[in-house]
A = this chain, B = another copy of it.
Amino acid sequence: MPTSTTTRFSYREAVRDAMSQAMRRDADVFIMGQDIAEHGGSQKVTLGMLEEFGPGRVRNSPISEMALTGAGIGAAMLGMRPIVEIMYEDFLTLAMEQLVNHAAKERYMSGGQLKVPLTVRTQGGAGWSSGAQHGQQTEGWFVGVPGLKVVYPSTPRDARGLLWSSIYDDNCVVFFEHVQLYNQREELPEEIEPIPLGKARIVRIGTDVTVVAIGPLVHEALAAAEQAEQEGISVEVIDPRTLQPLDEEAILESVRKTSRCVVAHEAVRRMGIGAEMAAVIQEKAFDWLDAPIERVGARFTPLPFAPGLEQASVPRREQVYAAIKRTVGSR
């Protein structure tokens, strides 16, 4: 049997690979965004793509997030599969109208005549003092918008497989990348394994507590789980990967086993996706719960610049660990 060759992909390269392979296969796939051409994008995700695909399919755009998103929607309605890169997710605020009122609704309002197979990729996150307008996490807003799908991968494999599925999904997908994950590496086969949207991944098996974490918090949760393990606490870690549709069954199954749950994300706690998860879990696994669902998320403040303040504002392994201890402590 031939062994499939594998390569070490960074998260950044994995994202690029999904786009490049789709663009090789399919003339309808293209990408637009600011500084994505020669410059390779502000995070260098698209580096080299201009050379391979040319300026017609790797389109450098003016600073016009609204029109960029609108043009993506229009091209998608005509059957293209555009990828729009919004440089920082903070700037999704500029595209909000187009995403919420158009991308999400064109199919419904047209009674099913239209599809909007648009992928909006964006990135952000704390940890490098980028300030209050270049680091907030905004995925929660889109989860509550019927018609949109929301994806947030935490590993190179998931990033590649989910981006592939997003590009080929016939709906608008808002795809979140985290700046602190771009250099994460993983051995992957050359051929892409598509990962279906809406399927969670059990990252670590455990029996005492379920931690549902997304993005960088998946890795923080793993570290916290290792630490808890030392004290004999067995932690299961689940990464939903897709936030809409949300794999409620996978989460509920785990919580029904462990009876304790922590939800964790980098976004502000209040109105973060963790609120929705907690609401769903307490509703559908009430009788299994031995303790309140603990929520881990950023403190209620704009992202401060000073490194010490920034650190104090966003959650990392310590906060997840503390939450695990709290929920187990109330045994």
Q: Which residues of A contact B (CB under 8 A)?
A: 90-91, 93-94, 96-97, 100-101, 104-105, 108-109, 131-133, 140-141, 143-147, 244, 267-268, 270-276, 278-279, 282-284, 286, 289, 291-295, 300-302, 304-305
Report B-chain residues with C-beta under 8 Å of the C-beta of A93. Answer: 96-97, 100-101
Query: Of B100, B146, B268, B283, which one neighbours A146 at CB under 8 angstroms?
Result: B268
Report B-chain residues with C-beta under 8 Å of the C-beta of A131. Answer: 109
Report B-chain residues with C-beta under 8 Å of the C-beta of A272. Answer: 144
Q: A93-B97, A144-B267, A279-B295 are in contact. List 10 more A-B contacts (CB 8 A).
A: A90-B100, A93-B96, A101-B132, A108-B132, A109-B302, A109-B305, A141-B144, A146-B268, A146-B301, A278-B279
Report B-chain residues with C-beta under 8 Å of the C-beta of A291. Answer: 286
Report B-chain residues with C-beta under 8 Å of the C-beta of A267. Answer: 144
* Complex: chain B residue closest to A292, CB-CB: B286
B270, A274: Cβ atoms closer than 8 Å: no
State the copy count for this chain: 2
Min distance, Cβ A324 to any Cβ of chain B, angstroms: 15
Query: Of B94, B140, B302, which one neighbours A271 at CB under 8 angstroms?
Result: B140
B302, A279: Cβ atoms closer than 8 Å: no
Min distance, Cβ A67 to any Cβ of chain B, angstroms: 13
CA distance A301 to B278 in the complex (A): 22
Report B-chain residues with C-beta under 8 Å of the C-beta of A284. Answer: 292
Min distance, Cβ A112 to any Cβ of chain B, angstroms: 12
A105, B132: Cβ atoms closer than 8 Å: yes
Report B-chain residues with C-beta under 8 Å of the C-beta of A283. Answer: 278, 292-295
Report B-chain residues with C-beta under 8 Å of the C-beta of A304. Answer: 108
Report B-chain residues with C-beta under 8 Å of the C-beta of A147. Answer: 302
B301, A108: Cβ atoms closer than 8 Å: yes
CA distance A67 to B174 in the complex (A): 26
5 A-B Cβ contacts within 8 A? A93-B96, A93-B97, A94-B96, A140-B144, A271-B275
Report B-chain residues with C-beta under 8 Å of the C-beta of A97. Answer: 91, 93-94, 96
CA distance A140 to B147 in the complex (A): 17
CA distance A271 to B244 in the complex (A): 11
Report B-chain residues with C-beta under 8 Å of the C-beta of A140. Answer: 144, 271
What are the 8 closest A-B residue pairs judged by CB atoms, nearest first?
Answer: A144-B271, A93-B97, A278-B279, A286-B292, A96-B96, A93-B96, A275-B279, A275-B275
Query: Of B90, B144, B293, which one neighbours A279 at CB under 8 angstroms?
Result: B293
Report B-chain residues with C-beta under 8 Å of the C-beta of A143. Answer: 270-271
